[in-house]
């Protein structure tokens, strides 16, 4: 999502972004950040296989482009090897880094959601179709903050690809209430934190009908006046 980002803003790491949003009800899977490869392997054993491992740090925003994500790791040895490679790939400008280990969440459908501060209108919330088709389809719905649950429901209905929300490839329909709750979590975070500049939840993987935020980035700046 684009935003009125300024030089004074800062972006939280993925783990910190999820911690920031979790109190508002963001649907996230259990995960752990480890400092060493051995710790990452132990964390994976506790979480349960298969897992995903990512290099995590305050200045690492584009992990996929840099090859800093390892998917579908099925045992401790694979996690330790992947974590070793990830830690070795860290650059000096990345600062302090760790290996984030999380369950491997799978689903045939992905949504994107987030917040973006518009210089003219104030904070907005967005819901769209995610995954590999996101840029090609550009199917999104946007509202000004604050929103109500009814507004969030309407955002779902706005999507041109809303047929994807029904039963799909043997998976149950998307739990609309869970998506509404996710949008309300973003709303509540925006209302509580006027210093928010943007939030990216990309993707929200639909797993057993429910959205799970497998990645999140929060950008903070100076407190903004209320939009309304």
Residue 153 CB partners (closer than 8 Å, separation 6+)? 176, 180
The segments of the chain whose pLDDT lies below 70 read 1-7, 62, 132-136, 224-228
Q: What is the spatial distance between Cα 127 and Cα 116, in angstroms, rounded to a whole number?
A: 11
For the full predicted model, state whether its pTM sits above 0.85.
Answer: yes
pLDDT the model gives residue 227: 44
pLDDT the model gives residue 7: 54
Output the CA–CA distances (angstroms, integers) from residue 92 to 45, 88, 98, 113, 126, in the order listed: 30, 11, 13, 31, 34
pLDDT the model gives residue 133: 62
pLDDT the model gives residue 225: 59
The pLDDT tens digits of the residues spanning 181-190 come to 999 999 999 9
pLDDT the model gives residue 5: 47
Q: Per-residue b/e over 197-211, b at no fewer than 16 CB within 10 Å?
A: bbbbbbbbbbbebbb
pLDDT the model gives residue 195: 95
Domains assigned to the chain: 10-28+107-220 (3.30.470.20), 32-103 (3.30.1490.20)
The pLDDT tens digits of the residues spanning 144-153 come to 999 999 999 9
């Amino acid at each position: 999502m684009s935003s009125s980002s300024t030089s004074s803003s800062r972006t939280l790491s993925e783990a910190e972004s999820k911690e920031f949003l979790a109190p508002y009800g963001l649907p996230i899977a259990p995960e752990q950040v480890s400092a060493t490869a051995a710790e990452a392997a132990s964390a994976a054993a506790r979480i349960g296989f298969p897992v995903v491992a990512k290099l995590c740090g305050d200045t690492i925003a584009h992990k996929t482009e840099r090859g800093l994500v390892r998917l579908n790791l099925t045992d401790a040895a694979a996690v330790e090897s992947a974590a070793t490679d990830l830690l070795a790939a860290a650059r000096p400008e990345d600062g302090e880094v760790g290996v984030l280990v999380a369950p491997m969440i799978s689903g045939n459908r992905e949504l994107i959601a987030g917040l973006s501060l518009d210089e003219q209108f104030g904070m907005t919330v967005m819901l769209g179709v995610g995954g590999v088709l996101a840029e090609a389809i550009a199917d999104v719905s946007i509202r000004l903050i604050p929103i109500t649950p009814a507004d969030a429901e309407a955002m779902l209905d706005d999507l041109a690809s809303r047929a994807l929300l029904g039963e799909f490839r043997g998976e149950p329909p998307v739990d609309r209430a869970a998506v509404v709750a996710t949008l309300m979590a973003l709303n509540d975070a925006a209302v509580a934190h006027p210093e928010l500049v943007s939030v990216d939840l990309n993707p929200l993987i639909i797993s057993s009908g429910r959205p799970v935020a497998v990645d999140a980035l929060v950008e903070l700046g100076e407190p903004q006046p209320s939009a309304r």
